[in-house]
Amino acid sequence: MTTSYLQSDSIAPLSIETFRDLGNFIHSKIGIKMPDAKRNMVESRLHKRLINLNMRSYKEYCNYLFSPQGIERELPEFINQITTNKTDFFREPDHFKFLMERALPDIVSSLKNSGRNKISLWCAACSRGHEPYTTAMILSEFSRKNPRAALTFSILATDISTQVLDVAKKAVYSHDEIEPVPIELRKKYILRAKNRKKDLVRISPELRKMVQFRWINLVSSDLKIREPMDVIFCRNVMIYFDKKTQEKLIRNLCSHLKYRGYLFVGHSEVLNCHNTPLEPMGHAIYHKTSMD
């Protein structure tokens, strides 16, 4: 482990030129736009990394990060520091209500005609796991209410941050974090820690086994997802991309969505459905209505 000898105040401030170099690098690697107004945020988030790496300036850090060695060793940590991972259980709850009451019944109706009984769902920016585990609760509840359908489920949960994926896989959260989960679902799907003083909970094994976690960069041309999805959640991601990157992502998401599948985006994200096979079904909810 590297030992740091630098003092915090010995690091020169992040210059606008170096910040823009970082911004261009961020955009080229993960599609995130970084306007000048974000300079203080980036400087703050990277400050401890420079101290840990015994670097005296952000320019020195850039030289390392942009090198082949830096891209291999430092890029994952850089992404962990830069990306925003705001998340909650049952965030934007009307989406989960729509999923339970309209999307899933419609998908089951399509399954009857195809002879399949499996529903596949992708949480495309899963952060610390709140969204995929919320979805797993909804799918489990739907299955309990429709036993004759004999449904099986798979949830793919992906993110670009290795740090949040590690948290999601452990499925351990503070008691405060589960406050948005309805009481009846907490009793079924959330386990209290044996040591009550720790005030921690864990998602039940029943839900954990439904979710597969994987690292994915959404701006990659090949996401290496071979199974088409009935439902895709890609919420509050596109707000960080420029228009060109957003359009590329929407096309990519559509290519992984089954005919008559559903796409959920963030409430502040409005898609231009022109030249896409999508039609709006509700606030930030879209239905794939053609095979294109």
178-215 in b/e form (b: 16+ CB < 10 A) is beebeeebbeebbeeeeeeeeebbebbeebbebbebee
CA 126/CA 87 separation, integer angstroms? 8
CA 78/CA 65 separation, integer angstroms? 8
Cα-Cα end-to-end distance for the chain: 52
Check if 159 is active-site. yes
Reported as type and span, the H/E element at residue 201 is strand 200-203
- Residue from 91, 128, 159, 208 carrying the catalytic annotation: 159
For the CA atoms of 179, 182, 184, 190, the dihedral, rounded to the nearest 10 degrees, stands at: -40
Closest CA to 50 of 18, 20, 25: 18
Check if 36 is active-site. no
CA 209/CA 61 separation, integer angstroms? 40
Give me the DSSP letters along 80-93.
Answer: HHHS-----TTSSH
2: its two tokens: 């590297």
Question: CA triplet 169, 175, 176: central angle to 5 degrees?
Answer: 110
- Other beta carbons within 10 Å of 9: 5
CA 151/CA 75 separation, integer angstroms? 40
Q: How far is CA 236 from CA 22, 37, 145, 240, 270, in A?
A: 22, 19, 30, 8, 11
**Which active-site residues does the annotation give?**
45, 159
